Amino acid sequence: MIRYITAGESHGPALSAIVEGVPAGISVTPEEINLQLARRQQGHGRGGRMKIETDKAEILSGIRFGKTIGSPITLVIKNRDWENWTTTMAQFEKPDMEIPKITIPRPGHADLAGRIKYGFDDIRPVIERSSARETAARVAAGAISRIFLKSLGIEIGSYISAIGAAAEPTVDIQLAGLLTEGAEAVARQADLSPVRMLGKKTEAEALAAIDFAKEQGDTLGGIIEIFITGLPVGFGSYVQHDRRLDAALAAAIISIQAIKGVEIGTAFENSGKPGSQVHDEFVLSRESGLSRKTNRAGGIEGSMSNGQTIHLRAAMKPISSLLTPLHSFDIETLQPTLSRFERSDTCAVPAAGVVAEAVVAPVIANALLEKLGGDHFDEISTRLDLYRQSIRNIFGA
């Protein structure tokens, strides 16, 4: 099974990731990984850090002659901003000069709980590792699984449906058309927008809202729509809690910094309706086999894929580092004060959509490996083809 770990601090020398469990024989290029890293850096409302960094992954192990070899893959992304932080973030000898401690926590951030949990006398170490800068390593790691899935006809994509009060309609004809081409078609269209939205009217509203928030020293959150196409019915399982596909997907998305809610399909809307208006009825015909008229379940029933497009929604809160400070206190003096500002974005929702695509990729890849097994791409591909054919045989299409 595929798993990955990341390492590195926001202003340290580099971020890194080790991805293990990747089958052998998968064609991988640095350009495919770096494309995803570049996508993560885009979006209206990003802060000054994105003007400094040009993220590119260096592959140190696990690939030979352009293909995975079954051993752990090591990825390194150097931080260009490190040269400005060599004193503050010195790894060994403590500098002769005094490094100011950060003792004022930001509401909504890891600052306070992290300082207490790890026994620091300075919040700086908490800021460095809890920072969303870490997601660059996760995007690189997730790109490996994404490449694997794309080679098997399974695609992942996303767009942004809301930023602040600017929200796109729940049902969109353009979206439905794009999904027939695959989830990546949605992402390609979204990437043409500076806020990764599909509708021009909502895009204009979102751009104005971000600009206004920046003028006010405020921040904005939003809603991310994630899609997975090409996954056949029957991946995941209902037999144990830790084999449920919906649980694994929700856990992966909620692990992204500032994500506070996950929805599968139209779950919250469904909760207020009778069952007759919620469940997706079956339609069986000789010509097209099994189909559905709706996808309110979001492609998952009984914690397994049901053959429809998997649709996930993620709610991202506004970033907690505000130029206009909120009330806080000094943890050393216990005196009330205003919270401090750490260089940050006004809105990072478009980038978070790219991160969400990355973190769900290993989850889907593992559901596939659990079902099919195999250590080499060719045998996995053959088994998936046979499984897809067996499904078609059941319904005579």
Q: What is the pLDDT of residues 148-166, one digit of tens each?
A: 999 999 999 999 999 999 9
For residue 284, list its beta bridge partners: 290
For residue 164, list its beta bridge partners: none
Could you tell me the CATH number of the domain that includes residue 304? 3.60.150.10
The pLDDT value given to residue 340: 87
Whether pLDDT at 175 is above 90: no
Q: Which pLDDT band, with edges at 50, 70 and 90, does 396 fall under?
A: low
User: Of all helices (H) and strands (E), which one includes residue 338?
Assistant: strand 336-338
Position 49: which residue type?
Answer: R
Task: Please tell me the least confidently modeled range out of 200-214, 279-293, 298-312, 363-377.
Answer: 279-293
Report the distance separating Cα 372 and Cα 359, nearest Å.
21
Report the 10 Å Cβ neighbour count for 130: 18
Identify which of 352, 342, 357, 341 has the alpha carbon closest to the alpha carbon of residue 41. 352
Percent of the chain that is helix, strand, coil (3-state, to 5): 35, 20, 40
For 232-269, b/e burial (b = at least 16 CB within 10 A) is: bbebbbeeeeebbbbebbbebbeebbbbeebbbbbbee
The pLDDT value given to residue 170: 67
In degrees and rounded to multiples of 5, residue 191 shows phi and psi of -65, -15
Q: Count structural domains, the chain.
A: 1
pLDDT per residue over 334-345, tens digit each? 999 999 888 779
pTM for this predicted structure:
0.94
| Longest alpha-carbon distance in the chain | 79
